[in-house]
């Protein structure tokens, strides 16, 4: 979406100027400054308030979060700036069908709390690769998964959110892209590195409130501008660019724009693909992705985790009204720019010959909002960018530290893990800044669809492995590994074909191979799921079943098994790479520290080293959560994050009734809009 320099010369008479030169007024700047001060204050408050000097405290917020910050963080982690830009852009280009991703997410986040989370809690796991290591044994699957997760985070999530943020920052504010993004990342990294997951969750809760207030306000202004939903349904189909060619079908609104279920063969989102192909990436994201599961595991207990999921599920209803429909309003109000169909004109409007639907949301913000509210919406976009980035940074850091670094250095002390986790966040921030030129060079007509197509090629095999691992006791390591490899191999081949043969523009002939042209990415998701399922089942049946230790408390049917107590002894020293800080590994690592620390302590006291620590060193140790006297001691608790599956009967009943109500609401929405 980069249209050259960040400050184009003002040309108010040019009707194709997407963003006429605007200077932020005093009210907008005041709102933005207040927002940044407020976020920093909340981030630093949670940094001081929470326990950051243990692995559990830093990576899992001490397992002490109530339901409302968990629910807000689930929503904020999911809704990044890519959603605002992408959902509104897809709404402007193709109608409401893209909201199907949000409605399926509603059911998936409930599936996490009621079905998958009890298994993770029973198995006492803190990262998703760790679950696979306990369930299947060996290191092939967890290591493959850890690397794949980091790849997906860096090259889809971080890059897409940075790209969407870049569109908004550069096109809307006319600021220097590198300066603005580096500043955002610096603020984001400050409380992520110092405060860990607790700081991320508390700031996410604040960002959620800001996002909802701002986006709902813009929704009100948008509907007022077109005469409500009725006015939108009438005017959308006549929202055509005045400069489009009359004898071309390019730039015409879809006849099924207000339907989610569309033709199974010729449409952009076929209904069988929505129901079956979309479900697997959604289950992967909501039930097995570290970013999401980590937030639920940080809850006080299972009831609070369920409450958080219910809150997130209700909030998932809102993107259709807050983002998709305003995107369609933007097309009605600004058809020449948002609905441009001629490649040359689109290039002039937004620098992208494929189409300019991705400018729909920024265009609304700058054109129809008054001073002050415009500053609030810019803060909303910044909030969306920062909340999703902090979530990814923290979760990627957790996976790298607990699943990869622990393999390289199984006897690493807790202090070393703290430092490694923070340094890895720093490296991610630097990588994100270096990634900006790549984002600027990328061209995408519909950003959200680009994200989902990549997800459909990489995520279904992982989802199938988790589902069979959780619900089929006969599944073993060999079956899971070969199912995963075959699925990922096919997905990568299709991904490469998509990059080699990009989708042609509307005015060009489609000469792509049949496997790319005729097999929709959602149908390919179904093929990948079926292949992974067949390979994993066949290999598991043909090889030895897993041992009882690999099934007990690690599947749905065995989650209430008695805990198997392992005898302490020499084998414990080999366990840290196999188990994480919630299992016996923490105890063994703690005992290693207990042996080492007392030897150092007399030396520290005999010399005058401790009193003469420099201020810079003390500040660095405080930033890393190790400034207290107790930092050299082993963690006092080495238990699981959520210790028990037990719930108070009346709370459980209340939550189950709320679940039925939420599912009914979701089914009604499907029925109404499908």
Per-residue model confidence as pLDDT tens digits over 344-399:
888 888 777 777 888 899 888 888 888 888 888 888 777 777 777 777 887 888 88
Q: What pLDDT does residue 326 have?
A: 94
* CA–CA separation, 61 and 63 (whole Å): 5
Residue 12: pLDDT above 60? Answer: no
Residue 211: pLDDT above 90? Answer: no
Q: Which of 418, 374, 450, 412 is nearest to 172 (CA)?
A: 374
Q: What pLDDT does residue 40 have?
A: 77
Rounded alpha-carbon distances, angstroms, from residue 27 to 19, 23, 123: 20, 11, 52
Using only the alpha carbons of the chain, give its radius of gyration: 26
Residue pLDDT, tens place only, 305-335: 999 999 999 999 999 999 999 999 999 999 9
Residue, of 2 and 231, whose pLDDT is higher: 231
- Give the number of C-alpha atoms closer than 13 A to the C-alpha of residue 494, restricted to the C-beta side: 25
Q: What pLDDT does residue 248 have?
A: 67
Contacts of 341 (CB under 8 A, 6+ apart): 241, 244, 245, 248, 250, 251, 355, 506
Q: What pLDDT does residue 311 have?
A: 95
pLDDT band at 596 (very low <50, low <70, confident <90, very high): very low
Residue reference for tokens 């039925």? 660
Question: Which DSSP letter does residue 635 get?
Answer: P
* CA–CA separation, 212 and 161 (whole Å): 18
Contacts of 284 (CB under 8 A, 6+ apart): 455, 459, 460, 462, 463, 466
Q: What pLDDT does residue 569 have?
A: 45
On average, the pLDDT of the chain sits at: 78
Tell me the three state secondary structure of residue 387: helix
Q: What pLDDT does residue 321 have?
A: 93
* CA–CA separation, 464 and 111 (whole Å): 15
DSSP count for the chain of H helices, then E strands = 31, 0
Structure-token pair, residue 657: 């009734």
pLDDT band at 617 (very low <50, low <70, confident <90, very high): low
The stretch 636-663 carries a mean pLDDT of 78
Q: Residue 65 forms beta bridges with which residues?
A: 299
Backbone angles phi, psi at 299, to 5 degrees: -70, 155
Q: Please count the residues of the chain.
A: 674
pLDDT band at 585 (very low <50, low <70, confident <90, very high): very low
For the ranges 24-33, 261-270, 611-620, the maximum mean pLDDT occurs at 261-270
Structural contact between residues 98 and 91, judged by C-beta atoms closer than 8 angstroms? yes
Residue 135: pLDDT above 90? Answer: yes
Residue pLDDT, tens place only, 54-73: 555 555 555 678 899 899 98
The stretch 595-618 carries a mean pLDDT of 48
Least confident range from 230-234, 395-399, 656-660: namely 395-399
Structural contact between residues 324 and 103, judged by C-beta atoms closer than 8 angstroms? no
């Amino acid at each position: 979406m980069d249209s050259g320099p960040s400050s184009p010369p003002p040309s108010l008479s040019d009707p194709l100027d997407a963003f006429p030169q605007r200077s932020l007024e005093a009210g907008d700047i005041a709102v933005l400054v207040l927002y940044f001060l407020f976020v920093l204050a909340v981030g630093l408050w949670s940094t001081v308030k929470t326990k950051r000097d243990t692995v559990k405290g830093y990576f899992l917020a001490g397992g002490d979060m109530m339901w409302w910050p968990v629910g807000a963080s689930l929503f904020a982690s999911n809704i990044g700036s890519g959603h605002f830009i992408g959902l509104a852009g897809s709404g402007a280009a193709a109608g409401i069908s893209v909201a199907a991703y949000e409605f399926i997410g509603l059911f998936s986040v409930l599936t996490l709390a009621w079905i998958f989370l009890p298994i993770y809690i029973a198995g006492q796991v803190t990262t998703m690769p760790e679950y696979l290591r306990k369930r299947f044994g060996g290191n092939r699957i967890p290591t493959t998964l850890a690397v794949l997760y980091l790849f997906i985070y860096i090259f889809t999530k971080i890059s897409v959110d940075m790209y969407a943020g870049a569109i908004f920052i550069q096109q809307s504010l006319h600021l220097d892209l590198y300066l603005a993004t580096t500043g955002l990342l610096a603020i984001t990294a400050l409380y992520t590195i110092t405060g860990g997951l607790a700081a991320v969750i508390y700031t996410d809760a604040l960002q959620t409130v800001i996002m909802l207030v701002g986006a709902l306000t813009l929704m009100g202004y948008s509907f007022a501008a077109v005469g409500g939903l009725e006015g939108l349904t009438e005017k959308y189909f006549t929202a055509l660019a005045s400069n489009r060619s009359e004898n071309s079908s390019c730039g015409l609104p879809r006849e099924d724009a207000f339907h989610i279920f569309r033709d199974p063969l010729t449409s952009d989102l076929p209904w069988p693909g929505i129901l079956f192909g979309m479900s697997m990436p959604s289950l992967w994201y909501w039930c097995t992705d570290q970013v999401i599961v980590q937030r639920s595991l940080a809850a006080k207990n299972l009831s609070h985790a369920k409450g958080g999921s219910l809150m997130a599920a209700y909030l998932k209803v809102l993107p259709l009204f807050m983002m998709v429909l305003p995107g369609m309003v933007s097309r009605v109000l600004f058809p020449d720019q948002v609905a441009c169909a001629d490649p040359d004109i689109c290039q002039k409007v937004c620098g992208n010959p494929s189409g300019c639907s991705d400018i729909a949301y920024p265009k609304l913000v700058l054109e129809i909002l008054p001073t002050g509210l415009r500053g609030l919406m810019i803060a909303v976009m910044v909030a969306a960018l920062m909340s999703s980035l902090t979530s990814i940074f923290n979760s990627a850091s957790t996976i790298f530290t607990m699943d990869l670094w622990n393999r390289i250095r199984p006897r690493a002390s807790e202090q070393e893990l703290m430092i490694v986790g923070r340094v890895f966040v720093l490296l991610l921030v630097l990588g994100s800044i270096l990634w900006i030129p790549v984002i600027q060079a990328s061209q995408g007509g519909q950003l959200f669809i680009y994200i989902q197509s990549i997800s459909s090629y990489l995520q279904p095999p992982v989802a199938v492995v988790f589902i069979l691992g959780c619900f089929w006791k006969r599944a073993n390591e060999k079956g899971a590994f070969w199912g995963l490899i075959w699925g990922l191999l096919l997905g990568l081949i299709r991904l490469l074909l998509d990059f080699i043969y990009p989708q042609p523009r509307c005015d060009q002939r489609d000469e792509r191979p049949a496997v790319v042209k005729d097999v929709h990415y959602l149908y390919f998701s179904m093929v990948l799921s079926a292949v992974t399922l067949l390979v994993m089942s066949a290999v598991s049946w043909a090889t030895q079943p897993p041992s009882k230790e690999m099934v007990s408390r690690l599947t749905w049917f065995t989650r209430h098994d008695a805990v198997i107590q392992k005898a302490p002894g020499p084998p414990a020293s080999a366990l840290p790479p196999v188990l994480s800080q919630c299992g016996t590994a923490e105890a063994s690592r703690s005992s290693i520290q207990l042996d080492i620390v007392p030897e150092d302590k007399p030396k520290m006291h005999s010399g005058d080293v401790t009193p003469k620590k420099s201020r810079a060193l003390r500040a660095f140790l405080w930033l890393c959560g190790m400034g207290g006297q107790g930092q050299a001691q082993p963690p006092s608790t080495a238990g699981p994050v959520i210790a028990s599956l037990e719930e108070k009967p009346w709370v459980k009943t209340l939550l189950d009734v709320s679940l039925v109500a939420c599912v009914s609401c979701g089914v009604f929405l499907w029925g109404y809009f499908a």
